[in-house]
Structure 1
């Protein structure tokens, strides 16, 4: 996970001054539905933030990485780069558009891409001989709101789903109880539902 500094404007857009938890959802769609409901009832949604918590990374292995696949992918990547550079040179060539120079840069790009890919593959020394796609997902989505709007937000969400609102109220009470227990030095075990 990268730890890159955030731009000041983006930091302000992704933060609240005094956030309070409105509700916690198991899926992003449910959190989005709650915020949409708030928006439909004239709630100031510009003071709402949806936060994904308990992040985990999923990686799906898609295949074996062989020398042939590495060289083929390198050649294809190099060909695209060669086509791009050759086209730019051909467009600005004072002697006119030359297709032969484009073909030459594509061929040179393919060779360059294969060599570059092979060097990278050789340096890895077989430590990652597979291809994969990865995705970061959250287990829970918490809807936060500025403290001045929390009561109105809870009232609206109670109207939207009274049963869920009661469960959320119990969750908040248990969390407050655990917090009080850790503040006083004793730890209260979680309650069984």
Structure 2
């Protein structure tokens, strides 16, 4: 994340190809700290994974509340704040149960507050259409030269110098 002027030295369709190109530069002794991989033309993809109802909302809330509850309970047991005779595992179990209950209630409440506007669950991801390998202006010509000999495999293309 330098303020150096950078130039694109190659473009790839997949991140794995761009990563392989930088690895190739590293194998050739190139100063890879002067290189970056930049995803271009990023789009948001939201994949719907199922319906959301009160049961699933409660289950998701319970799952997200259980771990923090267990960790808080374990910390109380570890630091012996409650009773030195009570094991930290027992307090972690109580914390897990309490966290799951509170999380389920919050999940139900949040789902009810949606008012039927979002009755589905989804996963969001950012997907670039291409990946550019860029290098600092002073070393860009050397990077282009080194990447010229790199052969891609499979579905990829040869590096596109830019």
1:32 and 1:69 map into 2 onto residues whose CA distance is 39
Aligned 8 A contact 2:12 2:131 in 1? yes
1:96 corresponds to 2:85:
yes
1:164 and 1:100 map into 2 onto residues whose CA distance is 59
1:17 and 1:85 map into 2 onto residues whose CA distance is 46
Distance 1:157 1:119, change over 3 A: same
1:147 and 1:103 map into 2 onto residues whose CA distance is 57
Q: 2:43 aligns with which of 56, 75, 85?
A: 56
2:123: which partner in 1?
133
**CA shift at 1:89, angstroms?**
4.0
1:28 and 1:102 map into 2 onto residues whose CA distance is 41
- The correspondence of residues 47-126 of structure 1 with structure 2, limited to 5 A, is 47-90=34-77, 91-94=80-83, 96-97=85-86, 108-126=98-116
**CA shift at 1:55, angstroms?**
0.5
- Give the length in aligned residue pairs: 154
| Aligned structure 1 segments of 4 or more residues deviating by more than 3 angstroms | 75-91, 98-111
1:8: which partner in 2?
none
Give the superposed CA RMSD: 2.9
1:35: which partner in 2?
22
**CA shift at 1:78, angstroms?**
3.9
Aligned 8 A contact 2:70 2:94 in 1? no
SS of the residue 1:160 aligns to: coil
1:74 and 1:100 map into 2 onto residues whose CA distance is 22
Structure 1 or 2: more helix by fraction: 1
Aligned 8 A contact 2:58 2:107 in 1? yes
**CA shift at 1:16, angstroms?**
4.8
2:154: which partner in 1?
none
1:124 and 1:135 map into 2 onto residues whose CA distance is 22
1:85 and 1:69 map into 2 onto residues whose CA distance is 25
1:186: which partner in 2?
none
Please identify, of 43-52 and 107-116, the stretch whose mean Cα deviation from structure 2 is larger. Answer: 107-116
Distance 1:129 1:153, change over 3 A: same
The normalised TM-score by structure 2 is 0.76
Stretches of structure 2 lacking an aligned partner (at least 5 in a row): 152-156
The normalised TM-score by structure 1 is 0.65
